[in-house]
Amino acid sequence: MNYLSVENISKRFGEKLLFSDVTFGIDKGDKVALVARNGAGKSTLLSLLSHHDTPDEGKIVYRKSIEVAFLEQEDKFDPKKTILQAALDANNKYHQAILNYQKAMDGNYDMDQALERMNELNAWDGDVKIKEILTQLKLDNFDKIIGELSGGQKKRLALAKILASEPDFMILDEPTNHLDLEMIEWLESKLRTSNSTILMVTHDRYFLELVCDTIIELDRQTTFKYLGNFSTFLQKKEERAQIEQATIAKAKNLYRTELEWMRRMPKARGTKAKSRQNAFYETEKVALKKVKEETLELRIKPERLGSKIMEFHKVSFGFDDKLLLKNFTYIFKKNERVGIIGSNGVGKTSLLKLMLQNYAPSSGKVVHGETLKIGYYSQDGLQFKDDKRVIEVIKDIAEFIPLEKGKTLSAAQMLERFLFPRDMHWQYVNTLSGGEKKRLYLLTVLMSNPNFLILDEPTNDLDIYAMAALEDYIHHFQGCVMVVSHDRFFLDKIAEHLFVFTGEGNVKDHPGAYSSYLEKKKDIFKEANKTTQKASTTKPPQPSAKKEKTKLSYNEQREYDSLGKEIEELEAEQKDMNDRIAQGEIFDDPEAFYKRLSELGDLIDEKSMRWLELSEYV
């Protein structure tokens, strides 16, 4: 059953043609991703699909009677409403019943009428589902006023509102932005099992791999549709490119023969076959077609890095009564690649600010080496002046940029390597797309020749092609790299080890990339069960002998032996609570219930990391 038909649409801005004759369809149950280079027209196409704009030609048709919901980058909420009120869609009869019940609870609506409607629609299950979604997205303070939320919390609330409404068709623009890794993995599972038809724009390549069954690529002003996930897309895209090149080569050979024939025949005579002439012009179009696969090249020479780079000595830091870093000690070595992961608000960005010496430690010290030159990419981006042109932004930093082996590039040449063709150099920056601005900002960071890169969410708003190039650059970069990212694929590609923020100022140094961390985290529960069983059948360890063998004190050994059982009990409690939610149970104190559910996840993570820490000495 067809849910969406896009038929021969075209769109241009002024003289710039974004796309032409775009045609595709989406059927019920499809989970589709739209991918394209920055500036190719993704945002414009989404704007057309959401009816915020109209195509110059063609038409967009949704199946009648289906409910369509859009997750946009900006969503306006009434600042006076609570989180729960904003998450409920007044146009949804189930949500309207829940809203009236909430009003009745506050004495602003007739309770008998509210209960009658809740029972009539069996809306109690919907109330539980909404609160579960809000809890998973860490918005479990249901009565908090919207005006008190951060920008990231509002984005998560917009996502929660769409997921709670369970529309027939949802269109999601960057749904993983502002989510931590735990939330992303939950959302991944939620969308994969959803009955809704989905069209999404995302740069999260694991998300594309695990959720989507169709990829639509917007490329060279038209679209190409690929059935399969992201791996299949890459394979079929390469096959398409090879076929296209072979077709062009064949057309060129034929074109040379036909061109000679066209020139040889006298124009005044009518002896040329009309069909052959028409065939010649069609062949000419293919033969002269230029297929330029643009690549982003990043080979900038960094400044020399001395033996002393950056050192943390027993550093602690926090705000008010919240401790974000506790007695953190670390000495950076040459060419390290470190990823930073952890829930939102645990101190990841604060660590970067300490590294930049923008924050002063509460105790301890941060030492910089004399040759250290930091290049910092902030997730807030660079605030470009409206009257600046693209090339002026670059020339303000340097007219020429040193490359490897003594070579240099002019500012204009550097822009071209960053996929800014000559006709864009004199554009005003405010005419660029969001992704193009981020790419320009990235260039300003890299071209300053840093030897220590600090990147805070560098993959947000970059297309998958630019991210692949950034990964290649980091691979060849002769310096240190510190990255905060929620992009699991990116972390797997560049991070050699991870700083894992586990809360209360604790940071665990995990050797290996994110996938290995995730696997080890999953294995904790299996190992914990084995430890519990072993502890029940063996004698308690002797302090003196055990200490010498395992380097654990007697108390640490007892703690290690008990952690397995504690984790098992917490996991069982978490499962029981999730089962109660799934069964539609009505809770006397929902706020306390969901707060405890959120606490359980944090406790399991905390005790699991402690178990890992102690297990290294067993």
Please give the structure tokens belonging to residue 539: 């004698």
Which tens digits make up the pLDDT trace of 288-320?
555 555 555 556 666 778 889 999 999 999 988
Which tens digits make up the pLDDT trace of 444-494?
888 788 899 999 988 877 888 778 878 888 888 889 999 998 888 889 889
DSSP-derived secondary structure letter, 304: P
Task: Examine the pLDDT at 202 and tell me if it is beyond 80.
Answer: yes
Q: Under a CB-based contact definition with an 8 Å cutoff, are residues 361 and 315 in contact?
A: yes
Query: What average pLDDT does the structure give for the chain?
Result: 81
Task: Examine the pLDDT at 275 and tell me if it is beyond 50.
Answer: yes
Taking the C-alpha atoms of 587, 589, 593 and 594 in order, what is their torsion angle to the nearest 10 degrees? 100
Give the burial string for 181-209 (b: 16+ CB within 10 Å, else e).
bbbbbebbeebeebebbbbbbbbbbbbbb
> How many angstroms separate the CA atoms of 503 and 65, rounded?
47
Per-domain residue ranges of the chain: 242-287, 310-512, 517-615
> How many angstroms separate the CA atoms of 435 and 441, rounded?
10
**DSSP-assigned beta bridge partners for residue 407:** none
Task: Examine the pLDDT at 609 and tell me if it is beyond 80.
Answer: no
The count of other CB atoms within 10 Å of the CB of residue 242 is: 10
Looking at residue 367, what is its pLDDT? 95
Looking at residue 410, what is its pLDDT? 84
Looking at residue 255, what is its pLDDT? 58
Half-sphere exposure of 230 (CA within 13 A, CB side): 17
Give the residue-averaged pLDDT of 126-142: 87
> How many angstroms separate the CA atoms of 121 and 118, rounded?
5
Which tens digits make up the pLDDT trace of 58-88?
999 999 989 999 987 666 788 888 898 888 8
Give the residue from 94, 108, 178, 175 showing the smallest Cα distance to 139: 178
Helical (H) or strand (E) element with 6: strand 2-13
Question: What is the arrangement of strands in the sheet containing 16-27, beginning at the earlier edge strand?
Answer: 16-27, 2-13, 57-62
Task: Identify residue 500 by its one-letter amino acid code.
Answer: V
**Which residues are within 8 A (CB) of 34 and not within 5 positions of it... i.e. 6 or more apart?**
42, 45, 46, 199, 200, 201, 216, 217, 218
Q: How confident is the model at residue 549 (pLDDT cuts 50, 70, 90)?
A: very low
Output 25 or 39, whichever has higher pLDDT: 25
Which tens digits make up the pLDDT trace of 530-542?
554 554 444 444 4
> How many angstroms separate the CA atoms of 23 and 446, rounded?
39
Q: How confident is the model at residue 49 (pLDDT cuts 50, 70, 90)?
A: very high
Q: How confident is the model at residue 617 (pLDDT cuts 50, 70, 90)?
A: low
Give the three-class secondary structure for 15: coil
The superfamily CATH assigns to domain 310-512 is: P-loop containing nucleotide triphosphate hydrolases (3.40.50.300)
The count of other CB atoms within 10 Å of the CB of residue 477 is: 21
